[in-house]
Structure 1
Amino acid sequence: MNFQRGRTREEPEINLIPMIDVLLVILIFLMVTTSYAKFSELQINLPQAGGDATVAEAKPINVAVDASEHYAVDNQTISFNGVEALAASLKKAAGDQTDPTIVINADAKTPHQAVVNVMEAARLAGYGRITFTTQNQSK
């Protein structure tokens, strides 16, 4: 028995509206749950190029720290009396330079705090260009 003799059969169709709704909900979920990490940026003073101007090459300030936390600024041993005193020693070594490069030569077994002390002293002195000295491993 065919009860659907007079009816025409409807073709199945895909309804896109619920699929779009689901995709929008997923998109909103991803936007809300994504964490946006802010990384602190280093302040870098980029060199400027000029045809006529010549820039005098700055002399770096070498700060050495050994494993027993003895400090030396430009090969002159200083006693560590605090970060402020170390900052004053850096300013004295810089002379008339406005932003010299601080080169930290730390022993491999130097405590982390000693290196941080040098970095903090450079910050207090107003010097932002800091670099570290390393050596290659011999195999």
Structure 2
Amino acid sequence: MNFRPQNRDEPELNLIPMIDVLIVLMIFLVMTTTFSRETGLELQLPKAQSSLPEESPKGVDVAIDAEGRFSVNGTPLQDNRLEILREAMKAAAGGQQDPLVIIRADRTTQHQHVITVLDAAGQLGFGHISFAAEIAAESKP
């Protein structure tokens, strides 16, 4: 019988391979990360206390219903193409260089229809654009 104590070596934890793996992972993450720079516009939005005044200057009133049909100054358009809308807006401007364009869009209309109106106004050089909205009812506490 062997009663001698056996020499057991204490296990060692070698940290150098773990550090190497961490450095490789860090280099991989740095190299694969995309640094995107999002562009944005700095806007100073106007504040409104109420809807448009009753005596607003004569301009171009474009209404868009829930189905995306356009109406310029109360006259419905037969077609929703950009060219038709642009010609109707030009005729409604009556020779004004930069009339006020008021967009009255239904709350359920698609965003694309509003963009179409903005595109037509931009092509005509109309820069004064306003969005009409209803006054929200004040809630009572």
With the length of structure 2 as denominator, give the TM-score of the two structures.
0.57
Q: Gapped runs of 5+ residues in structure 2? A: 1-35, 44-55
When residues 96 and 41 of structure 1 are mapped into structure 2, their CA distance, relative to the original with a 3 A threshold, is farther
Q: Is the Cα contact below 8 Å between 1:61 and 1:93 reproduced in 2?
A: yes
- Asked whether 1:40 is paired with 2:41, we answer yes
**What amino acid is aligned across from residue 104 of structure 1 in structure 2?**
I
Q: Is the Cα contact below 8 Å between 1:63 and 1:102 reproduced in 2?
A: yes
Aligned to 1:125: 124
**What amino acid is aligned across from residue 83 of structure 1 in structure 2?**
L
Secondary structure of the residue aligned to 1:114 is: helix
- Asked whether 1:99 is paired with 2:59, we answer no
- Asked whether 1:112 is paired with 2:88, we answer no
Query: 1:13-55: per-residue Cα shift (whole Å, max 9, x none)?
Result: xxxxxxxxxxxxxxxxxxxxxx98764367xxxxxxxxxxxxx
- Matches of 2:115 and 2:73, distance apart in 1: 18
Query: 1:82-117: per-residue Cα shift (whole Å, max 9, x none)?
Result: 112211110000011110010000011111111111
Secondary structure of the residue aligned to 1:117 is: helix
Q: Is the Cα contact below 8 Å between 1:105 and 1:132 reproduced in 2?
A: yes
- Matches of 2:105 and 2:129, distance apart in 1: 13
**What amino acid is aligned across from residue 115 of structure 2 in structure 1?**
V
Q: Is the Cα contact below 8 Å between 1:73 and 1:89 reproduced in 2?
A: yes
Aligned to 1:85: 84
- Matches of 2:106 and 2:96, distance apart in 1: 27
- Matches of 1:39 and 1:129, distance apart in 2: 21
Aligned to 2:68: 69
With the length of structure 1 as denominator, give the TM-score of the two structures.
0.58
